[in-house]
């Protein structure tokens, strides 16, 4: 199941993004530089792995391949991150490098941005 969430956005960087004076990479860097926004994304990324056992945790992530369409205020980017697993009962620790593509749409009336992560792979047992 894909993950999604909405976050409020400041007007000043939004105006700079939509008028083309702030590149999307800089906008996202500033947006995810906010501690609360960053924590929300870390939780969103970790939630993809809750069914794998252990206690998955994402501590940091990198944004690559960012794109933005000023006409319809939509875009996408890829998150590169490491998932840290902790199996407390057996004192086992493990980590795995992952990436997930996110799409987003900006609502200027909020203003807010809606994020939707990609559908996870489903492995068929056949």
Half-sphere exposure of residue 32: CA atoms within 13 angstroms, side-chain side: 18
- Nearest residue to 100 (alpha-carbon basis) of 123, 82, 125, 124: 82
Q: What's residue 124's pLDDT?
A: 47
Q: What's residue 118's pLDDT?
A: 87
Q: What's residue 28's pLDDT?
A: 95
Q: What's residue 2's pLDDT?
A: 57
The pLDDT tens digits for 32-89 are 999 999 999 999 899 888 887 778 899 999 999 999 999 999 999 999 999 988 776 6
Three-point CA angle 57, 63, 69, nearest 5°? 130
Of 55-69, 85-99, 105-119, where does mean pLDDT reach its minimum? 85-99
Those residues with Cβ within 8 angstroms of residue 104's Cβ, 6 or more apart along the chain or in another chain: 74, 75, 76, 77, 113, 114, 115, 116
How much of the chain exceeds pLDDT 90, in percent?
60
Those residues with Cβ within 8 angstroms of residue 96's Cβ, 6 or more apart along the chain or in another chain: 82, 83, 85
**Hey, what are 92's tokens?**
């086992």
Domain assignments of the chain as residue spans, ordered by start = 4-117
Taking a C-beta distance cutoff of 8 angstroms, is the pair 122, 30 a contact?
no
Distance CA(31)–CA(60), nearest Å, equals 14
């Amino acid at each position: 199941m894909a993950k999604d969430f909405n976050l409020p956005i400041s007007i000043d960087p939004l105006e700079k993004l939509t008028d083309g004076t702030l590149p999307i990479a800089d906008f996202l860097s500033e947006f995810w530089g906010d501690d609360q926004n960053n924590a929300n994304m870390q939780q969103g990324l970790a939630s993809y792995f809750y069914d794998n056992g252990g206690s998955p945790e994402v501590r940091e992530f990198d944004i690559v391949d960012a794109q933005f369409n000023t006409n319809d205020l939509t875009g996408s980017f890829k998150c590169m991150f490491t998932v840290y697993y902790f199996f407390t009962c057996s004192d086992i620790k493990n980590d795995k490098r992952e990436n997930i593509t996110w799409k987003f749409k900006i609502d200027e009336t909020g203003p807010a941005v809606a994020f939707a992560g990609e559908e996870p792979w489903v492995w068929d047992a056949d």
